[in-house]
Structure 1
Amino acid sequence: MKVVGKEKVIRVGMTEQVKREISVMKMVTHPNIVELDEVMATKSKIYFAMELVRGGELFSKIARVGRLREGTARHYFRQLISAVDFCHSRGVYHRDLKPENLLLDDAGNLKVADFGLSAFADHLRPDGLLHTTCGTPAYVAPEVICKKGYDGSKADLWSCGVILFVLLAGFLPFQDDNLIAMYRKIHRGDFRCPPWFSSDARRLVIKLLDPNPNTRITVAKLLDTPWLRKSPIPQPVSPGDGDTLESSTKKDEDEPERLNAFHLISLSEGFNLSPLFESGESKREEGMRFATKEPASGVISRLEELAAKASGKLRVTKSSAAGVRLEGEEPGRKGRLAVAAEIFAVAPSVLVVEVKKDGGDSLEYRRFCCNELRPALKDIIWVSSEAQTTSAA
């Protein structure tokens, strides 16, 4: 569990970083990436429920046993490249790859963690490059240090090269007590491979730690190197294949959509991070959301009954177990008032109902919500015992 204090996040200007980490974790589901299971929020804290990885940091293993045998190093490195290549294919660049951010599970498989410094492809400037200097000094690519813009995928591969060197050598390729002197070594690519490196391993490290990003080895060529071909590159076996592919099982249109953590963030005020970082004067979105233990059919029936009894004479224009749309029979100041209600399953016995204005005048919509919608549904709105205790206090 990772816990972040909201007040501190706002105070130190980390709002965008927190939002970015959540967005990235949503996009990258892969066997060698630590999975984000859930995101929850209270008035003072944000909770990230992460996949439990029991094996600890790869850094701790190296510190304990020293350099690894080439076969063991290859096992970890191919899993790292598989994860990094997957991220790059989704337009995500990690930008802080290092052994401390590589965890091991019970089976000895590598898991990439900590996407707090990651960047998306849509963060590129018009020149097609990233311009934010970040990462850990000893693992940072020379083009990142120069602050002239860099290709996130090539910078990640440099970091992978440093990691491979550390796995095989047990120490860093670029070391100096003086940070500026170390940066000079990085900029020149000034390092030496220990004599115990095999010739294939030495050639691969040199290609990865090429200070010229334009001639640095690419993932495609890296996968075809003799050293890495000695062990096959694993293919992602996680369910789903990112946001660009649909699930192999189609959702039944007559069932409420089931929510995951990311839907909850966008739908519920209790979980939505954006309002938590905004001032109280921010304009609220026109909408009403509530949780209920009433089955979807019961919620639909209540809304249909409300339409029949409403003073503004509403009619049902669309109805299914996933939602209902109500529309006024008479035009108002800005056309016919239309109200859409969508139903989402959070748990087997809990639903979230989201009501929004789908047409007509905002004032008429607010009046309808206050005078008719809320009173008609108040007995099916579910409030947790924790929330009841808080409100009573």
Structure 2
Amino acid sequence: MIKARIFSPRFPSDHHLNPFFAGTYTLGDELGAGGYGFVMTARHHVEGYEVAVKFIIKSKVPDHAWWDDELLGHVPTEVMIMSLVNNDNIVKCLDLFEDDLYFYLPLSPSPDARPNFSRRPSYDLFECIEQSKHKRLSENNARYVFAQVVEAVYYLDSQGITHCDIKDENLVIDADFKVKLIDFGSAVVADPTSPRPFYSLFFGTTAYASSEILLKKPYQAPPAEIWTLGVLLSYLLTGHSPFPTEQDAIDGRMVVRETRGGGRISRAALGLMARCLERDPERRADIAEIRGHRWLQGALERGGEHETEIKA
């Protein structure tokens, strides 16, 4: 066994890495942590590229978040999902390792699965917005970013998967405004050919929670996901939530604040936001409507022109 280098106090002092992982990667620094695990950088010994490795703490995965798979065995739902999904706007799982304490998922946000973070840094979307001149994105850049998120959600929906925690911190973006959805720790899976089930528990982020979730009503995941997209769109365009208070969200009372630095938001963008934030989940837009909305037509064809620059 090859002993783990201790870059984080999260590893027990006597912990040993999976020898196949240790023979392939060298761990770096910790990038962040959540309720079920933490993320560290690692470098491939032979090819030299860097990845982010998510360590899922087995003992912290709740009972409802496990899945029995014919090939993978008894694994967290997140592991099962990451082993299956394949989309340009979703982080790619390169391999799977485990030991007694952890599952390890080497992840790459790069389309070619060979990222070089020193050459082209990746940020979470929150950092990108904070670094922008007016603490928001231009409408053109917001449209491009949002269209990519919609493509990821549309793909997942076709597979019966709902992410359930889409927010700026769970989106990584590079210098070309290419976006990847990350962190499937709250995701749910259902048969895409059958009516979606109702849920009573919520494990996402309250600031993005839909009216029916805040009212503690049974809810379906796909309509709640659309609401989340509406909140995200408001942050992209204005730098603010569309709901000053939780009661505003419960009532579906959308308040679009003035954009920082001036500039008007187009009626088409506001119309799309309103369709996402319809209080009644049965009347709310579905992902097909969102994807086909006129504000998003041609959004992915704009090429490499960007109105703002992400600073290292």
Quote the Cα distance in structure 1 between the aligned partners of 2:196 and 2:181.
29
Quote the Cα distance in structure 1 between the aligned partners of 2:290 and 2:65.
36
Deviations 1:255-285 (A, max 9, x none): xxxxxxxxxxxxxxxxxxxxxxxxxxxxxxx
**Taking structure 1 as the reference length, what is the TM-score of the superposition?**
0.53
Alignment of 1:1-393 (within 5 A): 1-6=53-58, 8-9=59-60, 16=66, 19-52=76-109, 54-65=121-132, 66-105=135-174, 107-122=176-191, 128-176=197-245, 182=246, 184-195=247-258, 196-232=264-300
Deviations 1:75-105 (A, max 9, x none): 0000000000100000000111100001113
Quote the Cα distance in structure 1 between the aligned partners of 2:270 and 2:64.
40
CA change 1:197–1:52 in 2 (3 A) is closer
User: Which residue identity is paired with 1:145?
Assistant: L
Q: What is the root-mean-square deviation of aligned Cα atoms in Å? A: 2.6
Structure showing greater Rg: 1
**Taking structure 2 as the reference length, what is the TM-score of the superposition?**
0.66
Shift of 1:197: 1.5
More helix by share: 1
Shift of 1:191: 2.4
Quote the Cα distance in structure 2 between the aligned partners of 1:193 and 1:127.
31
- Give me the identity figure in percent: 29
Give the 3-state SS of the residue equivalent to 1:211 in structure 2: coil
Runs of at least 4 residues off by over 4 Å: 12-15, 122-127
Aligned residues: 226
| Structure 1 residue runs without a partner (length 5+) | 177-181, 235-393
The corresponding residue for 2:19 is none
User: Do the aligned partners of 1:55 and 1:104 also contact (CA within 8 Å) in 2?
Assistant: yes
Quote the Cα distance in structure 1 between the aligned partners of 2:198 and 2:280.
15
Give the 3-state SS of the residue equivalent to 1:46 in structure 2: strand
User: Do the aligned partners of 1:9 and 1:15 also contact (CA within 8 Å) in 2?
Assistant: no
Shift of 1:151: 2.0
Shift of 1:157: 0.8
Shift of 1:149: 1.9
Give the 3-state SS of the residue equivalent to 1:38 in structure 2: coil
User: Which residue identity is paired with 1:202?
Assistant: L
